[in-house]
Amino acid sequence: MSASSVAGMIEVSGLTKRYGEKVAVHGLSFHVSPGIVTGFLGPNGAGKSTTMRMMLDLDHPTTGRVRIDGKRYAELREPLKYVGALLDAKALHGGRSAYHHLLCLAQSNGIPASRVGEVLDVVGLTAVANKRSKNFSLGMGQRLGIAAALLGDPEILMFDEPVNGLDPEGIHWIRNLMKSLAAQGRTVFVSSHLMSEMALTADHLVVIGQGRLLADTSMAEFIRTNSRSYVRLRSPQQEQLLDVLHRAGITAVTAGHGALEVDGVGAEELGELAARHQIVLHELSPQQASLEEAFMQLTAESVEYHAHAQPTEWRT
C-alpha cells in the first residue's frame, strides 16, 4: 500500500463498532495526513470518541482497521514517540501530582525524565507540578493532558475536544499550538463538535454523523460548497410579494420575524422585481449562512439528541 509508507499517516478503513443492536460507528474510512490540522467534526454522540479510542487500540472495532505509519497502534513499541493523544482531561489519577503523572508515562516509554519538566513548561504548569491533579480546574486538566501528549515529541497528535473547559486565553493558546505542531510537519487530528472552532484551526475536515462519514474535504472546499448565500426580504405587503415571487418562479421561504429568504436569486433582481410590482420593501439584504449553519444542515438528519424547541423554522 503506497499510503502506508508516509510517516505520520493515519489510515482508517471500513471501521465499524457495534454495541449490541446499536451501531456507534458505521463503515468509516478516511486518511489523516501530516503537515496539516485535520478536524474531526460531528455532533455529540456521533461516534468521534469511539473512533479515536479504536484508533488507539483501546476499543476493538467490530470490523475494519486502523493503521498508523502502516502499523496497528498496538504494534508501536514506544507509542508515545509516534502518537500523543489527549483523550479526556480526566483520564488520570487525581491523587497523583502532575509531575508524577507525566513521569510514570515517560518511564513506560523510556523517555528521559528531563522531558517532563520541558513539557510542563510548554503547557505552563511548572508552578503546580507537585500539586495533586484532582484539585486542577478543567482547563489545567486539559493542559496536563496536552503535556502528556507532547511527552514523546511524537509525529502524530490526537486531541479529543481539546478546547473544552479552556478560557479564551487557553483556547487561543491551543489553536496556535495545533497550527505550529502541524507547521513542523506533524500530523494533527483534532475532534470537535464546534464548526466555528474548526473553521479557525483545521485545514482538512472529516465530518461524521451517527457514525457515518458525511464529508471528507479540505476546509476551503467545505466553505465553498456549504456556505449558502441567500437574500433576506422584508415587506409590509408580504402576501403580494410572495405572490409576485411565485409567479416569477422564485421559491421563498418564510423565516422568523416576518422575513422571507430566497436562494439562488440576486438581490438586484429581487429589488427590481419588487419595484416593477410597486411593492414596498423594508429589507433587501444578501446573507451568507454561517459555517455553523452549514454544519447543522449537513448533520441535521444524523443528530442523535434533538432539542425540540427550534427558535426558527428548520430550513432545508
Partner 1 sequence: MTTPSTPAPYQQHPGVPGYVSPVPLRRATLLDALASEWTKIRSVRSTIWTLGVMVVLVVGFGALIALALRSVDLPEGESPVSLGFVGVLLGIIPVITLGVMTIASEYGTGMIRTTLTACPSRARVLAAKGIVFFLLTFAITLVATALVSAAISGILGGSTAGSVWLGATVGVSAYVALLGLLALGVGSLVRHSAGAITIMIGVVLLPLVMALFMMSEGLRDVQQFLLEYSIPSQLAIFYGTPMGEDGPTGWESLGLMGALVALVLGLAFLVQHKRDV
Query: Which member of 20, 21, 22, 60 binds partner 1 (CB under 8 A)?
Result: 60
Q: What is the spatial order of strands in the sheet that 187-192 belongs to?
A: 83-86, 156-160, 187-192, 37-41, 204-209, 212-218
Letters for 135-174 (x = contact with partner 1 by CB under 8 A, - = none) are: -------------x---xxxx-------------------
Residue found by looking up cell 497502534 in the block: 73
* Residue 294 contacts partner 1 per CB under 8 A: yes
Strands 156-160 and 187-192: parallel
Site for partner 1 in 205-244 (CB under 8 A): 213-218, 221, 225-226, 228
Residue 102 or 250 with smaller CB distance to partner 1: 102
- Indicate whether 71 belongs to the interface with partner 1 (CB under 8 A): no
The minimum distance between CB 105 and partner 1, in angstroms, equals: 5
Listing DSSP states for 123-172 in one string gives: HT-GGGTTSBGGG--HHHHHHHHHHHHHTT--SEEEEESTTTT--HHHHH
Taking CB under 8 A as the binding criterion, the range among 39-47, 183-191, 240-248, 253-261 that sits at the site for partner 1 is: 183-191
> Does position 203 bind partner 1 by CB under 8 A?
yes
Under rule CB under 8 A, residue 105 binds partner 1: yes
Q: Would you count residue 46 as binding partner 1 (CB under 8 A)?
A: no
Q: How far apart are CA 202 and CA 196, in angstroms?
A: 10
> Around Cβ 265, how many Cβ atoms within 10 Å?
17
Pick the closer one to partner 1 by CB: 134 or 282: 134
Q: Which amino acid is at 266?
A: G
* DSSP β-bridge partners for residue 204: 38, 218
Cβ proximity to partner 1, 104 vs 280, nearer residue? 104
